[in-house]
Structures are given as C-alpha cells and as structure tokens.
Structure 1
Amino acid sequence: MKTKLLYQTNSYTYECSAKIVAVSGDEVALDATIFYPGGGGQMADRGLLSWNQGANQAHVISISNRNGTVWHTLDYIPPKPETEVTESIDWNFRYRSMRTHTAFLLLCSVIWREFGIQVTGGQIYPDRARMDFALEYLEKDRIAELEQQVNTLIAADYPIHTYMLPREKALSLSALVRARINQLPPHLDEVRMAEVVGFDVQVDGGTLVNHTREIGGIQIIRSENKGRINKRLEIVLKEAL
C-alpha cells in the first residue's frame, strides 16, 4: 500500500481531501497526502486533519514514510479506516521551507560547477539553514562570490520543473546525484528530478518553488570547518535579516 505523494507533483497544494486506509495506534495512513514527511535536511510539514465536516480535528505531530506508506501521527484519537478527511498544512511554514530548499538546490548547483564536489549533509531550520560540502578550504572572497552567483540565479527567475526517472537510470547518471551518501530509500522505483530550466538538473525529492525569484535572496552568514575535508555554510533568506 503506497501513499500517493501529492506534494511531489504540486508543492503549492495546502489543502485536500483524502481517505484513511489504515490505523495503527495514534497513526493513520492516507490514500494520498500533501504532508511532506521530511528528508534531505528539510523539516516535515505541520498541519491538521479534520473530519465529520470539520467537527473533529487533530494536529499532525509527526510524519514518517515507511516503505512507501506515509503515516501521520495525531494528537487525538484517530477516526476509523475509510473515513474521509481534510488535510490542511501550515502554508507559511511550508512556503518558507520551499524557498529555503530551492536555495539549497541552487547552492548545490553552483558549488558543483565551481568545484565538482558533493553535499555531505544539510539541515533546514525555521530561521536559517546549513549545508556541508566536501571542501578543505573556502576563502572569504570565494564565499562572497558563491553568494552572488546564487542571488544572480534567483534574480534571473529561472523556471523549475520536476519529473520522474527510473531509479537505475537516475543513479547511473552520477552528475545528477549531488549527495555523497545515497539517501534514496530502497523502495523507490522512480526518482524525482528537479530541473532549473536552462541551468542545471539534479535528483531532489523535496518541495520547491516554481521560479527562482520566489526565493527572494540569500545571505551566507557563517562558514565553519567540520572536518579535514568538510566545510559548512550557513544561510538565511535575505528578508529574515
């Protein structure tokens, strides 16, 4: 039983109807979900499930994707299987995550073009984000150049498209996989690609904006050595300053 992942085809959907297909304790599995369960450094979505025409509702307090089935943990006694529910996500939280995650996509692209190296880790927080790269040195002037290149891409307003490729084909094209560690779950038969049209394409399963200008802009506020060959960059969206 695999959950239809609506966030993969339209990250802008913030409310939808679905049906409960399984219940386990305080968890429910739905036939389709707009809730991003987290992964690749991006936080899971926040939001509500409601049923009985809105008479009952529960906060979704955690989300997990287990072998293709997305389970939503509720803070209220779940309804029975076959119940029709309304999913509603915290749109402000989601949209900020989308903008930050898309900024990550551009930063990965720029660093790959500059140095040909991969990401070793990353995490998005409500007010900032950090990403680690397999670099030994990164001078202050070079960091400023990277920031400028990302902001130039943002201002150019590139469209962003997503599509699916068979898993083996995607993994065979090594330049498309920008993470040093393969984080793709083994149950995936297809892998989602994110294309910054006219600039770059790479494997990416997170939520993204449709055009780079929506990001607004970034600032690299900190760099740190996290090992002999591991450099960390911390970024904020410009409007958060």
Structure 2
Amino acid sequence: MRKVFWDNPYQQRLTTKIAAVSGNRILLEETIAFSFSGGQESDKATLNGLPILYSEIEENLIYYIFQEDHEFSQGATVTMEIDWPRRYRLMRLHFAAELVLELMTRKLDLEKIGAHISETKARIDFAFDKNISFIFEDILAEYNQIIEKDELIYTGFTDVETQRRFWKINGFAEVPCGGTHVQSTAEVGFVNLKRVNIGGGKERVEISLLNDFIRPKASPSYG
C-alpha cells in the first residue's frame, strides 16, 4: 500500500484500485486517508462517496471499515476524498504540538506521558509536580520566532522497511514522527497554550490555533 499522505499530505482526492475485500474491510493499493497513529486522529474520508466508518492498521497496512452493504469488489477502480479542512487543522496542530514539546524539553527535564491531536486542539501530558505554566511565556517567545522565520519543514524516512519517519527544521535534530505536516512553520501559525492540572503529579498543556486559516483545495508542489 502506497501512503500518498506522506508523499503529498495536501492531496485531497485520489483514484486508485481495491487490493482486497474481506467483509466490510477494504484494502486499497494507495491511500490519502491517514489512520490514527502517534496521537493524531484519523482523517474523515469517503470512497465513491460512501463514508469510511473507521480504519485499522495491521502490519503497516491500513484497512478501511464500511457498512456491510458497501458493494465494493476487488480490482474495482474507486475514488477517495478526504475532509480537507479537518486534515489541514490536524496537520497544523500536529506540528505545533511537536514544536512546543521540543522547546519545553529543551528547558525542563520532562517526561511526556501522553499526547493527542484533534482538529480543534492538541494536548501533551507530562509527569511534573509543579504548575507548568510558568514556562509558557518563554516557550511562546521562541515558538513565535520560529513561526516568523518561515522555516521549511523537512520530512522523510529513517527506515523505509519499517516505515519509521521523521521531521526536521533548522536548529533541531531529526524528530521521529509518522504524522502529516505542513510545508513550513509560517503555515502552522501562532498558538495559545493552556495549562490543565489533571492531578497526581501530572500536568497537561493544551494547544490551540489562533486563526482558522484553511489552505485552498489545491495540491501544491511537494517534495
């Protein structure tokens, strides 16, 4: 299965063929629909206009689950389309969360114990026994500088066989990550940080976008 969402995360429509059908589980030759991994929620998508209920990852293959009466057959040509506004927010928030995490762990000895990226906000949970918001002003100052510099975001494989991937920007080492990302830091945009005490020596940092700009439905040159 070719995962086009890594080759071009801006592609919103794809014509491909069905590789296998097992009941209501469909395997495609190619896909643009990301499946929940690394804390990033799955894309919402359709196949020939029929909504995908959910997806499952097995041995690096993504299986899409449909209603039992789907009528898809092996070898058929189909068209997949993703919910682009949702994907674009996920891309922006995913990188924002990763960058905030990198900046925070440079300043504090922190253990990340959880993370989640939805289309409305991202969160990172830490094992930390103090109010973590004291660092927010410094973190946002550095974060904003990186956004304003409009640094290119490089992505690629560290291991093609196991499909391990990374992102990198100037001034940072390669960061392991298999999510979908925008092309540059300016596209991520500015964010707000909110502290949530979840008890038991745990602190949560919630990240939200300060604007809801959605890139037009066009696939830019990507590589």
TM score, norm. by length of structure 2:
0.87
CA contact 2:97–2:207 (8 Å) conserved in 1: no
Q: List aligned pairs for 1:183-194, cutoff 5 A.
A: 189-194=162-167
How many Å separate the matches in 2 of 1:10 and 1:116? 35
CA distance in 2, matches of 1:104, 1:136: 21
Structure 1 residue aligned with 2:65: 73
Q: Distance in 1 between matches of 2:197 and 2:173?
A: 27
Of 101, 104, 107 in structure 1, the residue corresponding to residue 94 of structure 2 is 101
Give me the whole-angstrom Cα distance separating, in 2, the residues matched to 1:201 and 1:231.
Answer: 26
1:146 Cα offset (Å): 1.6
- Do 2:113 and 2:127's aligned partners in 1 also have CA atoms closer than 8 Å? yes
CA shift at 1:116, angstroms?
4.4
Segments of 5+ residues of structure 1 without an aligned counterpart are 51-56, 168-187
Counterpart in 1 of 2:16? Answer: 18
Equivalence map 1:152-163=2 (5 Å) = 152-163=145-156
Equivalent pairs, count: 211
SS in 2 for 1:143: helix
Do 1:191 and 1:203's aligned partners in 2 also have CA atoms closer than 8 Å? yes
CA distance change for structure 1 residues 10 and 116 in 2, over 3 Å: closer, same or farther? farther
Report how far residue 162 of structure 1 moved: 0.9
- Tell me the residue number matched to 2:211: 239
Any conservation in 1 of the 2:46–2:52 contact (CA below 8 Å)? yes
User: RMSD over aligned Cα, in angstroms?
Assistant: 1.9
Q: Which runs of 5+ in 2 are unaligned?
A: 213-223
2:17 pairs with 1:44: no
- Sort the Cα spacing of 1:70 and 1:78 in 2 relative to 1 into closer, same or farther, 3 A: farther
Tell me if structure 1 keeps the 8 A contact 2:17–2:76.
yes
Q: Which AA in structure 2 matches 1:61?
A: L
Partners of 1:146 and 1:226 in 2: CA distance: 23
Structure 1 length as normaliser, TM-score? 0.81
Give the Cα separation in 2 of the matches to 1:105 and 1:139. 17
